[in-house]
Amino acid sequence: MFTGVIAMVDRVDSRLPYFALVVGMIAISTSAILIRLSNSDPLVIGSYRQSFATLLFVPFLFKDRGGELLSIPRSKIMEMAITGILLGGHFGFFISSVKATSIAASVLLGTCHVVYVAIIGWLILGERLNQRAVYGTILALFGIVVLFWGDLVEDPGNFRGNILAFISGILAGLYYLGGRRLRKEISLPMYALVVYFFSALTMWSVVIVQD
Indicate if 3 and 26 belong to the same structural domain.
yes
CA distance 182 to 188: 10
Indicate if 13 and 93 belong to the same structural domain.
no
H or E segment and range at residue 42? helix 42-57
Indicate if 83 and 155 belong to the same structural domain.
yes
The whole domain housing 183 covers 41-210
Indicate if 86 and 184 belong to the same structural domain.
yes
Indicate if 149 and 55 belong to the same structural domain.
yes
Q: Report which of 111, 128, 132, 108 is spatially closest to residue 176, judged by C-alpha positions.
A: 111
One-letter amino acid at 178 equals: G
Indicate if 90 and 19 belong to the same structural domain.
no
Q: What is the pLDDT of residue 61?
A: 82
Q: Any idea what DSSP says for residue 61?
A: G
Indicate if 4 and 88 belong to the same structural domain.
no
Indicate if 83 and 128 belong to the same structural domain.
yes
Q: What is the pLDDT of residue 4?
A: 46
Q: Report which of 76, 112, 121, 71 is spatially closest to residue 94, judged by C-alpha positions.
A: 112
pLDDT values of the chain reduced to their tens digit, one per residue, 211 residues: 434 434 444 454 567 777 777 777 777 667 777 777 778 888 899 999 999 999 988 888 887 777 888 888 999 999 999 999 999 999 999 999 888 887 777 877 777 777 777 777 777 767 777 778 777 778 877 777 777 776 655 666 677 888 898 899 889 988 988 888 888 888 888 999 999 999 999 999 999 998 7
Q: What is the pLDDT of residue 171?
A: 92
What does R_g of the chain's alpha carbons equal in angstroms? 20
Indicate if 83 and 69 belong to the same structural domain.
yes
Please state the domain count of the chain: 2
Indicate if 106 and 173 belong to the same structural domain.
yes
Q: What is the pLDDT of residue 29?
A: 65
CA distance 67 to 144: 46
Indicate if 29 and 49 belong to the same structural domain.
no
Indicate if 21 and 117 belong to the same structural domain.
no
Q: What is the pLDDT of residue 79?
A: 93
